[in-house]
Chains A and B, each alone.
Chain A
Amino acid sequence: MGKRATAEQPSASPAVAGADTGRPVLQIEDLRVEFRSLRGVVRALNGVHLTVHEGEIVGLVGESGCGKTVTGYSVLGLLPKPQAQVTSGRILFKGEDLLTKSAKEMRALKGKVISMVFQDPLASLNPVFTVGEQISRVVRVHKDVKKKAALEATKTALQATGLPPTDALLKSYPHQLSGGMRQRVCMAMAISCGSAMLVADEPTTALDVTIQMQILKLLLRLREELGVAQILITHNVGVAAQTCDRIAVMYAGNVVEEGPTAEVLKRPRHPYTLALIECLPQGKTAAELKTIPGAVPDLITPPAGCRFHERCAHVREICRDSLPTPVEVARDHWTACHWVQETAGGGDELGRGAGGEAESLVPAPAGSPGPAPAAAQPAEPEAGDPSTSSEEA
Chain B
Amino acid sequence: MPLLSVDDLTVHFKIRRGLTRKSIDTVHAADDVSFALDRGTTLALVGESGSGKTTVAHAILGLNKPLKGSIVFSERDLLALPRRERRAARRGMQVVFQDPYSSLNPRMTVHDLVSEPLRVGTRISGDALRDRVLELLEMVGLGTQHLWRRPHEFSGGQCQRIAIARALALSPDLVVLDEPTSALDVSVQARILTLLHRLQEELELSYLFIAHDLAVVESVASAVAVMYLGTIVESGSTETIFNDPRHPYTLALLASVPSPDPEQRSAGAALSGDVPSAIHPPSGCRFHPRCKFRMDVCDKEAPPLVERLGRRLACHLPDEFDLTADQEAARAARATAVVEEEPRRRARPRPTEATAPRMRRRW
A297 to B6, CA, bound (A): 45
Please tell me if B197 contacts chain A, counting CB pairs below 8 Å.
Answer: yes
Residues of B near A63 (CB, < 8 A) are 185-188
**Which residues 230-280 in B have Cβ within 8 Å of A in the complex?**
252-253, 255-263, 265-266, 268-272, 274-275
Residues of A near B21 (CB, < 8 A) are none
A360 to B272, CA, bound (A): 50
Residues of A near B351 (CB, < 8 A) are 342, 345, 364, 366-367
Q: A359 — nearest CB in chain B belongs to which residue? A: B360
Verify A214–B194 contact, CB threshold 8 A: no
> Contacts A16-B362, A289-B193, A334-B362; is A237 near B357 (CB within 8 Å)?
no
Residues of A near B336 (CB, < 8 A) are 280, 282-284
Please tell me if A168 contacts chain B, counting CB pairs below 8 Å.
Answer: no
> Contacts A267-B343, A269-B343; is A347 near B357 (CB within 8 Å)?
yes
Residues of B near A281 (CB, < 8 A) are 189-190, 193, 213, 215-216, 218-220
Please tell me if A387 contacts chain B, counting CB pairs below 8 Å.
Answer: no
Q: B185 — nearest CB in chain A belongs to which residue? A: A63
A294 to B189, CA, bound (A): 13
Residues of A near B357 (CB, < 8 A) are 327, 341, 344-347, 350, 364
Verify A280–B337 contact, CB threshold 8 A: yes
Distance (Å) between the CB of A277 and the closest chain B CB? Answer: 5
A262 to B353, CA, bound (A): 32
Give 1 or 0 for each of B127-145: 1 = CB within 8 Å of chain A CB. Answer: 0000000000000000000
**Which residues 193-232 in B have Cβ within 8 Å of A in the complex?**
193-194, 196-197, 212-216, 218-220
A381 to B353, CA, bound (A): 30
**Which residues 301-351 in A have Cβ within 8 Å of B in the complex?**
325-328, 334, 336, 340-347, 350-351
Verify B258–A236 contact, CB threshold 8 A: yes
Verify A209–B218 contact, CB threshold 8 A: no
Verify A354–B262 contact, CB threshold 8 A: no
Verify A360–B360 contact, CB threshold 8 A: yes
Interface centre among B341, B344, B353 (most CB of A within 10 A): B344
- 8 Å CB contact of B259 from A9, A12, A242: A242
- 8 Å CB contact of B358 from A267, A289, A325, A354: A354
Verify B219–A286 contact, CB threshold 8 A: yes
Verify A242–B334 contact, CB threshold 8 A: no
**Which residues 265-290 in A have Cβ within 8 Å of B in the complex?**
265-269, 274-290
> Contacts A255-B363, A366-B351; is A210 near B253 (CB within 8 Å)?
yes
**Which residues 263-299 in B have Cβ within 8 Å of A in the complex?**
263, 265-266, 268-272, 274-275
Please tell me if B125 contacts chain A, counting CB pairs below 8 Å.
Answer: no
> Contacts A275-B187, A326-B363, A328-B362; is A366 near B219 (CB within 8 Å)?
no
> Contacts A283-B334, A366-B351; is A213 near B258 (CB within 8 Å)?
yes
Residues of B near A354 (CB, < 8 A) are 358, 360
Q: B47 — nearest CB in chain A belongs to which residue? A: A208
Please tell me if A1 contacts chain B, counting CB pairs below 8 Å.
Answer: no
Verify B218–A241 contact, CB threshold 8 A: no
Please tell me if A295 contacts chain B, counting CB pairs below 8 Å.
Answer: yes
Distance (Å) between the CB of B244 and the closest chain A CB? Answer: 16
Verify A340–B271 contact, CB threshold 8 A: no
Verify B48–A210 contact, CB threshold 8 A: yes
> Contacts A214-B272, A277-B337, A342-B350; is A265 near B260 (CB within 8 Å)?
yes
Q: A294 — nearest CB in chain B belongs to which residue? A: B187
**Which residues 1-39 in A have Cβ within 8 Å of B in the complex?**
5, 9, 12, 16, 29-30
Verify B155–A295 contact, CB threshold 8 A: yes
Please tell me if B359 contacts chain A, counting CB pairs below 8 Å.
Answer: yes
Please tell me if B191 contacts chain A, counting CB pairs below 8 Å.
Answer: yes
Q: B196 — nearest CB in chain A belongs to which residue? A: A286
Please tell me if B340 contacts chain A, counting CB pairs below 8 Å.
Answer: yes
What would be 22 A-B contacts, judged by CB atoms less than 8 Å apart?
A5-B361, A47-B363, A63-B185, A178-B274, A181-B274, A208-B275, A210-B270, A212-B258, A214-B269, A241-B258, A242-B259, A276-B187, A282-B219, A291-B190, A325-B361, A325-B363, A334-B362, A343-B343, A343-B346, A345-B355, A374-B361, A376-B361
Measured CB to CB, the residues of A under 8 A from B are 5, 9, 12, 16, 29-30, 47, 49, 63-64, 178-181, 208-214, 216-217, 235-239, 241-243, 255, 261-262, 265-269, 274-292, 295, 325-328, 334, 336, 340-347, 350-351, 353-354, 358-364, 366-367, 374, 376
A-B pairs with the 7 shortest C-beta distances?
Answer: A238-B258, A49-B363, A286-B197, A283-B336, A208-B48, A364-B356, A63-B185
